[in-house]
Chains A and B, each alone.
Chain A
């Protein structure tokens, strides 16, 4: 039998509308900083998945990631820690998080550092609630990130890349192009040079993170950005970095900026 490679080789032209009314920009002009990459159109990973997987994201009743959003609403309202507070005590309704996912990772002036949403959530938990930090890429955190992401669905990703974040962004870019491990591959080897191609059974996407956290059919749970980075680096037969490490924060900022202009899409569904 002929290999289905030809028909699968290109990202498709389908159109993502969630719940019949929420338009998601899944293809758009690449941001100016990507000019040197030769990529003129950035695309969500959604375009590279099979029709059945794509469909699961078109209706929240079919999207398994939404179950975790519901769970996170419970933890949003749960009082925890020595201060006797919940997220709701300070942030009211989760809808107060509208727009947040679109601009993270982001510079935090008071702390003098680039923060991911997970870092910010753990800071609120430890310093404001007197509660324990959640595991950086654990289930509680992934679910909370999904709840926060949903508030911004459809808004364009718009992370800042200059000003105080510039040095970290540069570090992330450097990591993106560093070839690692015994297979000697970088993020760019697969997601810049070869997106649209098949690597064994996998249809390579641009490795965008606008859809995170992502529900993967493969492991039947929500997956965080750093867990995905870890998996991809492990697959080069390299020593990975740790979720929450400075390196992965920098890489997340850089990869997020390659998606500036795509819609926030998480929680997305992938295989």
Chain B
């Protein structure tokens, strides 16, 4: 049963092994700033996205952003703008584009690219200070990015 559905998906999308997943090197931006298609073909889970954004070893977005809806995550930083209302300011595609590589929208941004695996200067092996070998694992997986995007779209100004 399982085998069949995987095979079917591969046939439908016409690609290899991880048929539905768009890899870091295959991401396509529409109009330079937005990525319209889900990276996994699946909807994100906003509850998981909230956890990822507040967790130090994951997105750790609160290191730089304040988010009122995540007030359970302590010590929110202010290097970046407050994300309240981000779901009004940006479309889902733009939010996906921002998390994948914020430099497409904001040239020279200090916001890290969460779905980039190579092209770094002195890439390291995580936080060890030792050399890392490109391609590195992206900071967030495709599904984690979808989860984060799903949460960001819920951030509306009332």
Residues of A in contact with B (beta carbons under 8 Å apart): 1, 3, 5, 9, 178-185, 189-190, 193-194, 197-201, 204, 230, 233-240
- A185–B110 CB distance below 8 A: yes
B75 sits at the interface (CB 8 A): yes
Q: Which chain A residues border B129 with CB–CB below 8 Å?
A: 230, 233-234, 238-240
Q: Which of B75, B116, B121, B139 makes the CB contact (< 8 A) with A200?
A: B75
B4 sits at the interface (CB 8 A): no
Known: A194-B110, A200-B60, A233-B129. A5 touches B76 (CB 8 A): yes
Q: Which chain A residues border B123 with CB–CB below 8 Å?
A: 181-182, 237-239
- B124–A238 CB distance below 8 A: yes
Q: Which chain A residues border B130 with CB–CB below 8 Å?
A: 239
Residues of B in contact with A (beta carbons under 8 Å apart): 56, 60, 62-64, 66, 71, 74-79, 110, 112-113, 116, 120-132, 136, 139
Specify the chain B residue showing the minimal Cβ separation from A183: B112
Q: List 15 A-B contacts (CB under 8 A).
A: A1-B71, A181-B123, A182-B123, A182-B136, A194-B79, A198-B75, A198-B76, A198-B77, A198-B78, A200-B56, A234-B129, A237-B126, A237-B132, A238-B124, A239-B125
CB proximity of A249 to chain B, nearest CB, Å: 17
- A239–B132 CB distance below 8 A: yes
Q: Which of B63, B74, B76, B127 makes the CB contact (< 8 A) with A237?
A: B127
- B79–A199 CB distance below 8 A: yes
Q: Which of A185, A201, A240 makes the CB contact (< 8 A) with B75?
A: A201
- B120–A200 CB distance below 8 A: no
Q: Which of A3, A189, A238 makes the CB contact (< 8 A) with B110?
A: A189
Specify the chain B residue showing the minimal Cβ separation from A233: B129
Q: Which chain B residues border A181 with CB–CB below 8 Å?
A: 120-124
User: Most chain-A Cβ atoms within 10 A of its Cβ — which of B66, B127, B132?
Assistant: B127
Q: Which chain B residues border A1 with CB–CB below 8 Å?
A: 71
Kindly state the separation between the CA atoms of A52 and B63 in the bound complex, as whole angstroms.
24
Known: A185-B110, A200-B60, A233-B129. A5 touches B122 (CB 8 A): no
Kindly state the separation between the CA atoms of A235 and B56 in the bound complex, as whole angstroms.
13
Specify the chain A residue showing the minimal Cβ separation from B112: A183
Kindly state the separation between the CA atoms of A239 and B118 in the bound complex, as whole angstroms.
14
Q: Which of B62, B63, B124 makes the CB contact (< 8 A) with A182?
A: B124
CB proximity of B127 to chain A, nearest CB, Å: 6
Q: Which of B66, B77, B125, B127 makes the CB contact (< 8 A) with A199?
A: B77
Kindly state the separation between the CA atoms of A230 and B124 in the bound complex, as whole angstroms.
12
- B122–A200 CB distance below 8 A: no
Kindly state the separation between the CA atoms of A112 and B119 in the bound complex, as whole angstroms.
36
Q: Which of B66, B112, B128 makes the CB contact (< 8 A) with A184?
A: B112
- A239–B79 CB distance below 8 A: no
- A180–B122 CB distance below 8 A: yes
Q: Which chain B residues border A238 with CB–CB below 8 Å?
A: 120-124, 129
- A200–B78 CB distance below 8 A: no
Kindly state the separation between the CA atoms of A116 and B21 in the bound complex, as whole angstroms.
52
Kindly state the separation between the CA atoms of A242 and B92 in the bound complex, as whole angstroms.
43
Kindly state the separation between the CA atoms of A233 and B56 in the bound complex, as whole angstroms.
18
Q: Which chain B residues border A190 with CB–CB below 8 Å?
A: 110
Known: A200-B62, A239-B123. A182 touches B132 (CB 8 A): yes
Kindly state the separation between the CA atoms of A1 and B60 in the bound complex, as whole angstroms.
20
Specify the chain A residue showing the minimal Cβ separation from B117: A182
Kindly state the separation between the CA atoms of A180 and B124 in the bound complex, as whole angstroms.
9
- A9–B110 CB distance below 8 A: no
- B78–A5 CB distance below 8 A: yes
Known: A194-B79, A201-B75, A230-B129. A237 touches B124 (CB 8 A): yes
Kindly state the separation between the CA atoms of A3 and B70 in the bound complex, as whole angstroms.
12
CB proximity of B144 to chain A, nearest CB, Å: 15
User: Most chain-A Cβ atoms within 10 A of its Cβ — which of B75, B122, B139?
Assistant: B122
CB proximity of A231 to chain B, nearest CB, Å: 8
- A235–B127 CB distance below 8 A: yes
